């Protein structure tokens, strides 16, 4: 009996100890999880000063982050006068009772001799278990000075990757750009010059061309009709139709008259008025031809080559007599 009570007492003591240990561990774990993130205000750079122009500068800092948070976003402003060579990296280095140590690093490269301005790393952490908003931390990257390394020979061009374009003057960069793409620029310039020359020649040639006057058109049409008559390609009846169209189109273009839209009697009445632009000596010839042309076209009056050529000469006289003087 005593032996059993002794065993029960020992078991109870062990249970109490185990419960206290578990409770202590839980309380400690919860306390550690409730601790805020530890993010430094300033990052470290290596080398801290007098960095070689065009050389690499390491940017590093360590952040202690609870397990109930994680890194949501990282952004980096390396400062004026430098460029990012390797983007930010976040690596978990060690776990410490519900918290982790994260090492965040990047590599930048100074591209100007002198002071490189201060930069900044922005770290965004996800919300905690009892929080609704993410937390932002800004870690400053200290400014530093970059120096030009001594060269082996005086006047030797500085051969640093990524630094040449900054060290050269704007004029040098412009000339280098022109030299690099000179064949493209030459081809474009040649095309433009050729286009301008062709356009100028076309414009001058067009300027030399005299305007096409109505009487020139009529005389050319009469000459073409005479050639067709001589070759026998046009029958007299068809020739009268063409001759009628030539004369009416000419008078319409020359005097802005509705010659092609009026009947012969209507048109002759307008030409007999005092305000008619047609000279007196041409009115009788016009009436004679238009009346004969209507008889041939509509009344089937006999027409031969001799009659057609006779009226062709009359129409040619009407055109020549109505050509304006140079002073008109």
- What is d(CA 122, CA 15) in angstroms, rounded to the nearest whole number? 49
Kindly give, in sequence order, each residue whose CB lies less than 8 Å from that of residue 251, ignoring residues fewer than 6 positions away: 257, 259, 278
Q: DSSP readout, 301-313?
A: ----HHHHHHHHH
Burial of 318 from C-beta contacts in 10 A (0-12 / 13-18 / 19+): buried
Report whether 57 contacts 110 (CB < 8 A): yes
Give, as one character, the DSSP assignment of residue 42. Answer: B
Q: Note the pLDDT tens digit of each residue in 208-262.
A: 444 568 888 989 999 999 999 999 888 888 999 999 999 899 988 888 888 878 8
Q: Which CATH number fits domain 44-147: 3.40.50.20, 2.60.40.740, 3.90.960.10, 3.40.50.10090?
A: 2.60.40.740
Q: Does this model's pTM top 0.85?
A: no
- What is d(CA 48, CA 198) in angstroms, rounded to the nearest whole number? 65
Q: Note the pLDDT tens digit of each residue in 78-133.
A: 888 888 888 888 888 777 766 788 899 999 998 888 888 899 999 888 776 555 56
Q: DSSP readout, 58-74?
A: EEEEEEEEETT--EEEE
Question: Which of 146-155, 158-167, 238-247, 264-273 is most confident?
Answer: 238-247
Q: Note the pLDDT tens digit of each residue in 59-81.
A: 999 988 887 777 878 889 888 88
Note the helical H segments in the chain: 2-34, 164-167, 170-180, 182-208, 214-231, 236-255, 264-272, 280-298, 305-321
* Six-digit token string for 259: 């010659």
Q: Quick check: 282 pLDDT over 70?
A: yes
Q: Which of 167-171, 181-185, 256-260 has the lowest mean pLDDT?
A: 167-171
Mean pLDDT calculated for residue range 284-295: 89
Rounded to 5 degrees, what are φ and ψ at 255? Answer: -115, 10
Q: Quick check: 33 pLDDT over 80?
A: no
- What is d(CA 267, CA 76) in angstroms, rounded to the nearest whole number? 91
Confidence (pLDDT) at 210: 47
Q: Which of 121-135, 150-164, 176-190 has the lowest mean pLDDT?
A: 150-164
* Six-digit token string for 100: 């982790």
- What is d(CA 48, CA 116) in angstroms, rounded to the nearest whole number? 12
Q: DSSP readout, 68-131?
A: T--EEEEEEE--TTEEEEEEEEEEEEEEETTEEEEEEEEEEEE-SSEEEPPEEEEEEE---TT-
- What is d(CA 11, CA 291) in angstroms, rounded to the nearest whole number? 145
pLDDT band at 140 (very low <50, low <70, confident <90, very high): very high
């Amino acid at each position: 009996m005593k032996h059993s009570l002794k065993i029960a007492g020992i078991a109870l003591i062990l249970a109490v100890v185990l419960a206290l240990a578990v409770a202590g561990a839980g309380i400690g774990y919860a306390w550690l999880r409730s601790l805020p993130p530890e993010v430094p205000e300033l990052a470290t750079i290596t080398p801290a000063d007098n960095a070689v122009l065009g050389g690499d500068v390491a940017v590093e800092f360590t952040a202690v982050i609870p397990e109930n948070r994680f890194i949501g976003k990282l952004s980096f402003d390396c400062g004026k006068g430098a460029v990012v060579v390797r983007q930010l990296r976040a690596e978990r280095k060690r776990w410490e009772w519900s918290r982790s140590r994260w090492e965040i690093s990047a590599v930048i490269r100074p591209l100007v001799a002198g002071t490189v301005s201060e930069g900044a790393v922005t770290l965004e952490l996800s919300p905690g278990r009892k929080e609704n908003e993410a937390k932002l931390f800004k870690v400053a990257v200290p400014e530093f000075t970059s120096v030009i390394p001594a060269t082996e020979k005086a006047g030797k061009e500085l051969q640093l990757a990524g630094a040449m374009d900054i060290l050269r003057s704007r004029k040098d960069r412009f000339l280098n750009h022109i030299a690099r793409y000179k064949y493209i620029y030459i081809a474009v310039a040649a095309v433009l010059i050729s286009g301008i020359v062709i356009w100028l020649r076309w414009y001058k040639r067009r300027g030399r061309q005299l305007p096409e006057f109505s009487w020139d058109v009529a005389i050319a049409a009469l000459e073409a009709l005479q050639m067709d008559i001589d070759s026998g390609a046009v029958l007299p009846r068809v020739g009268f139709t063409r001759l009628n169209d030539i004369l009416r189109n000419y008078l319409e273009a020359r005097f802005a008259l509705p010659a092609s839209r009026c009947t012969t009697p209507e048109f002759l009445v307008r030409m007999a008025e005092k305000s008619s632009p047609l000279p007196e000596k041409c009115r009788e010839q016009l009436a004679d031809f238009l009346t004969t042309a209507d008889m041939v076209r509509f009344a089937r009056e006999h027409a031969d080559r001799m009659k057609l050529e006779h009226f062709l000469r009359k129409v040619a006289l009407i055109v020549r007599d109505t050509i304006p003087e140079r002073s008109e």
